[in-house]
Structure 1
Amino acid sequence: MTIPTTPDVASEPDADAPRARRPRRAESNKYSGGWFARRLPWWFAAALLLGGAFLWIYPFLWMVSASLKNQLEIFGAGLSLIPEAAEWENYSRAWNEANFSTYTWNTIIVTSVTVLLVVARCAMAGYVIGRYGFAGKKLVMVILIATFFVPTGYTIIPVVEISQQLGLLNSLTGMIIAMSGGGNVAAILLYAGYFRGIPKELEESAVVDGAGFFTIFFRIMLPLAMPITATVTLMTFLATWNNFFIPLVFSLSRPELRTLSVGMRAFVSENTTDWGGMAAAATISLIPLIILFVLLQRHFVKGFAGAIKQ
């Protein structure tokens, strides 16, 4: 007597069940960018990157080269970057005769104080917007974002009127207040996005220990937002250092208050332009920007990545 055995359901696949389709990795990677990158020789990719980098920095190299040439060689040498004889007198003329020594100190003072004011104000505003809910919060956000579309030229008239009434029109103090009193919406949103992602347990534990609002902000939250602070510092420094319109208005009647960007006009006269001296002055004004960017570039990228991730 034979006992019929039942087939093993687990071992035999169902004919009606859909078969799992295995991805064709070879075909999918064949047309992808990764396949092309793996087939691209490393020396060819390096050559492409070096060529693009050279084209990107060539205007800066040409400016430095022009600062060491005389007036005729700047236009006669064409695109050549190597001067026949270094004209260091261009830097001496820009620093002493064009009064760029005074303009440099004015720019340093205005930029430093403006950066401090903007970082402090935007950090506190971003902390409140990112961590607290209050009545009219959406309206405040709409007003802040709307300031993106208001050009600086449309606000300079009321700024000048208020500064004149306060007696700050022809002074570095008025210039600092005018440049640090803008919307700075990008900086506020960066801080708000970063603070929004910090766990609330930090604040709750600090409140239990008896810490107040300013203690929590300055001793806990602000040190944690150091990447955002570095990003806002660099952005504000670049915008203030290169600002032309506001320093021009606030130094029209007092040339000794000019900044570096406004001081470039000293090389342009009615009949001639001192291109060598202007190139030397531009090189002097760009050196602090390059040094600051090299020091803060790692924090700059980390700050943007952290704010976007939050």
Structure 2
Amino acid sequence: MQRKPQSAWARFFKPRSSREDSPFKRLLIHLALILSCVIAVYPVLRIVSVSLRPGDRLLSTSLAIIPPDATLEAYKTVLFDKEFPVWVWNSIVITTATAVIGVVLAATSAYAFSRWKFPGRSPGLVFLLSTQMLPAPMMMVPIYILASKLGLTNTYRGLVIAYSVTSVPFSIWILKGYYDTIPRELEEAALIDGVSRLSAFWRIVLPLSTPALAIVFLFSFMSAWTDYLLARVMIASERSLWTWVLGVRDFQGQFQTQWGLFSAASVMVAIPVMALFLYSSKWLISGLTLGSVKG
């Protein structure tokens, strides 16, 4: 029996295991990947290099990643002569509280949108999505006005609430899509056995949603960890509450910018975030892919 010739599209979309790529094509793919990695990693290496340079060589054009006269003086200054540890601690407190509140609110709200039909359900989902289309500067004015009237400016609580308001809508969409992939039969079987709805949610749905919960936690954490504009508006006048993003702005004086201190602080705040991402990488891919389609 003569085989039917395949179209170009069919050959292109064949599984990789059954498609034979030419050596030249594989070489191009690997070169493209290597180039992408270099473009992504090189700026980070340059920041590390600047943080290790002596003060009189900060503007050196040398391409060496580790300078021959490397020093840790910038790290010592940031840690012991500045308020950097206080700023980092403030950031940890604020971002952790934001992430925990975001997970709790998004997990319960997304479950309601996924499992129950109630008046305003569809418009509510559209409204949550539409809030993500507004630029962040547009949201700062109403948030600041409300916080001022409630006496929440220059407080931890006010900044945490502001961060939660901006991160929860998108988190609800992520978790709602993931909950839709969990068979309802699992909960129905538990309800038949006499388990309450809350207990079924706690014992069945949440354990199965660990990847999506990790995504929501990381999204809320990173949104607060790297934010500058909202923190500048909410707590700029209270130096003791500054986050690290506001604090490193203090390294820029009227006549000069301390690039060595900037770089050293950037490296130190990136290390815990990188460790968090590496630890949770096993949940990231499954959380993003399974929550994007309904199974």
User: TM-score with structure 2 length normalisation?
Assistant: 0.90
Q: Which residue of 2 aligns with 1:288?
A: 272
The answer on 1:118 being equivalent to 2:99 is no
Unpaired segments ≥5 residues, structure 2: none
CA distance in 1, matches of 2:101, 2:77: 34
CA distance in 1, matches of 2:8, 2:162: 57
Residue of 22, 27, 31 corresponding to 2:3: 22
CA distance in 2, matches of 1:307, 1:48: 29
Whether the aligned pair in 2 keeps the contact of 1:234 and 1:300 (CA below 8 Å) is no
The answer on 1:180 being equivalent to 2:161 is no
Residue of 89, 98, 113 corresponding to 2:73: 89
CA distance in 2, matches of 1:188, 1:45: 37
Structure 1 residues 32, 253: CA separation in 2 closer, same or farther (over 3 Å shift)?
Answer: closer
Per-residue Cα deviation, 1:167-198 (whole angstroms, up to 9, x for no partner): 22111121111111225333211111111121
Aligned-residue CA RMSD (Å): 2.4
User: What code does the residue aligned with 1:218 have?
Assistant: W
How far 1:165 moved relative to its partner? 2.8
Bigger shift: 96-105 or 151-160?
151-160
1:200-279 matches, within 5 Å, as: 200-279=184-263
SS in 1 for 2:4: coil
The answer on 1:132 being equivalent to 2:116 is yes
Whether the aligned pair in 1 keeps the contact of 2:128 and 2:170 (CA below 8 Å) is no
Whether the aligned pair in 2 keeps the contact of 1:227 and 1:300 (CA below 8 Å) is yes
How far 1:45 moved relative to its partner? 5.1
Structure 1 residues 132, 62: CA separation in 2 closer, same or farther (over 3 Å shift)?
Answer: same
CA distance in 2, matches of 1:55, 1:86: 24
How far 1:296 moved relative to its partner? 1.2
Residue of 81, 84, 87 corresponding to 1:103: 87
How far 1:21 moved relative to its partner? 5.8
The answer on 1:307 being equivalent to 2:291 is yes
How far 1:295 moved relative to its partner? 1.0
Q: Which residue of 1 aligns with 2:180?
A: 196
Structure 1 residues 41, 150: CA separation in 2 closer, same or farther (over 3 Å shift)?
Answer: closer
1:126-165 matches, within 5 Å, as: 126-165=110-149
CA distance in 1, matches of 2:103, 2:12: 44
CA distance in 1, matches of 2:124, 2:113: 9
Structure 1 residues 198, 36: CA separation in 2 closer, same or farther (over 3 Å shift)?
Answer: closer
SS in 1 for 2:97: helix
CA distance in 2, matches of 1:167, 1:71: 44
User: What code does the residue aligned with 1:80 have?
Assistant: A
User: What code does the residue aligned with 1:155 have?
Assistant: M
Paired-residue identity, %: 28
Unpaired segments ≥5 residues, structure 1: 1-19
User: What code does the residue aligned with 1:53 have?
Assistant: C
Per-residue Cα deviation, 1:178-230 (whole angstroms, up to 9, x for no partner): 11122533321111111112112122122223322322222211111001011
Consecutive aligned runs of 4 or more in structure 1 exceeding 4 Å deviation: 31-36, 41-48
Q: Which residue of 2 aligns with 1:15?
A: none
How far 1:305 moved relative to its partner? 1.0
SS in 2 for 1:300: helix
Q: Which residue of 1 aligns with 2:36?
A: 52
User: TM-score with structure 1 length normalisation?
Assistant: 0.85
Aligned residues: 290
